[in-house]
């Protein structure tokens, strides 16, 4: 009779922890904790906008090639709605007085982050969602200040 193969033992050959292993549970716990940090949330915001914009271009190109008569305007609008709202979710907890957020922005400040903030701001301005605009503007201003300080230090 054949014995069933244990995948945990196979993965163990590559140095990956066993499913029941304390090390894996520790890694899982650390990952869950990291997902709660502002650093992770800023990274997700940037990824959502950057990847979303690229995906949208590819998707619209696909649909317009598949059926040139198809009006892709609604597809584009729906995609923007989902992308910008989901991205905003990741940074919605920002508070200008929260030390953890200030530290995270100091670490994650980049031109890409500012670009993502700018396009998000523009999107929410068109929808007249001014509370979101105010928050995005505060984050953008602080991030620009951080980048300016970093540039002055290096020059």
Q: What digits encode the pLDDT tens for the residues 61-96?
A: 887 787 777 777 777 888 899 999 999 999 999 988
Q: What is the pLDDT, as a whole number, of residue 115? A: 97
Q: Phi-psi category of 15—alpha, beta or left, where left has phi over 0 and alpha has psi -120 to 50?
A: left
Q: Which residues, including other chains, have CB under 8 Å from residue 59's CB and lie 6 or more apart? A: 75, 79
Tokens of 133: 């605009």
* pLDDT above 80 for 6: no
Tokens of 130: 């001014």
Task: Say which DSSP state 37 is in.
Answer: S
Angle between helices 99-108 and 130-154 in degrees, nearest 10: 60
């Amino acid at each position: 009779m054949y014995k069933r193969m244990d995948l945990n033992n196979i993965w163990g050959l590559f140095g990956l922890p066993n499913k029941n292993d304390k090390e894996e549970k520790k890694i899982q716990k650390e990952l869950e904790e990291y997902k709660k940090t502002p650093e992770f949330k800023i990274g997700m915001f940037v990824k959502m906008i950057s990847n979303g914009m690229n995906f949208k271009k590819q998707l619209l190109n696909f649909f317009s090639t598949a059926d040139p008569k198809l009006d892709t305007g609604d597809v584009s609008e729906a995609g923007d709605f989902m992308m910008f709202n989901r991205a905003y979710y990741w940074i919605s907890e920002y508070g200008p007085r929260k030390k953890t957020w200030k530290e995270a922005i100091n670490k994650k400040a980049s031109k890409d982050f500012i670009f993502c903030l700018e396009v998000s701001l523009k999107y929410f301005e068109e929808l007249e969602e001014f509370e979101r605009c105010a928050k995005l503007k505060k984050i953008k201003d602080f991030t620009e200040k951080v980048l300016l300080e970093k540039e002055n230090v290096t020059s």
